[in-house]
Amino acid sequence: MTERERVLGLLDGITPGQWSYCPWRFDDWGMVRAEDGHIVALARDGGAMDADSKSAHRANGTDPYEANARLIAAAPDTARRYAEALAEIERLREALKEAQTRANQSIAHERVREDCERKAADATHGGPVRALYKWTADYHKANARSFEWIAEPIRAALASSMSQAAK
């Protein structure tokens, strides 16, 4: 299972829609609601706050659980954006891999072409047909592709050229 699949699995079955921290005027501390108004979560601190701290928050009109509640409210959207980012990263990795493969093929092709041109130039002492045949044969070997469709007529021309030279 990929990280993206795991994250999307976490989102399966959650309360749909946007979640909000204390969207209503008289919501209790740490309340998180769905778009339809249903309570999704009540954030707390695990009992770490004493009675004096709670009294101070009441007096100041602040919510001691606000940070936890805002994090909970943001979780679904954050998880969705994370899954989208993971998908984009995977797409970019594939594109990079393809670009690297193409670049490597291009470099190899260019090296083969240069090598074949050099060999063909060296072989011109045997005549242009011989040079073309040698270049085609070397290119065929280097690229591991079937060039029989062009090599056969060249072989025939070479055989004809050699038989005429022998006469």
State the pLDDT at residue 59: 93
Q: What is the mean pLDDT of residues 29-58?
A: 90
Same domain, 145 and 109: no
CA distances from residue 55 to 26, 31, 94 in whole angstroms, order as listed: 18, 18, 56
Top pLDDT among 28 and 73 is at: 73
Percent of the chain at pLDDT > 90 equals: 37
Same domain, 140 and 78: no
**Lowest mean pLDDT segment, chosen from 3-7, 63-67, 85-89, 157-161:** 157-161
Same domain, 93 and 136: no
Which segments within 30-155 are labelled E, that is strand?
31-34, 39-42
The closest alpha carbon to 29, from 61, 59, 4, belongs to: 61
Range of the structural domain that residue 59 is part of: 3-123
Same domain, 73 and 98: yes
Same domain, 134 and 111: no
Q: What is the mean pLDDT of residues 13-32?
A: 88
Q: Is the pLDDT of residue 100 over 90?
A: no
Q: Is the pLDDT of residue 153 over 70?
A: no
Q: Domain tally for the chain?
A: 2
Same domain, 90 and 51: yes
Q: What is the mean pLDDT of residues 53-76?
A: 92
State the pLDDT at residue 31: 93
Number of H helices, E strands in the chain: 5, 3
State the pLDDT at residue 28: 86
Q: Is residue 119 within 8 Å of residue 134, measured between CB atoms? A: yes
Contacts 24+ apart (CB under 8 A), 105-113: 109/143, 112/138, 112/139, 112/142, 112/143, 113/139
In this structure, is the dihedral angle defined by the CA atoms of residues 51, 56, 62 and 64, taken in order, positive or negative? Answer: negative
Instruction: Name the band, by pLDDT with cuts 50, 70 and 90, for residue 147.
Output: very low
Locus of tokens 């044969």 = 137
Locus of tokens 């594939």 = 94
Same domain, 107 and 155: no
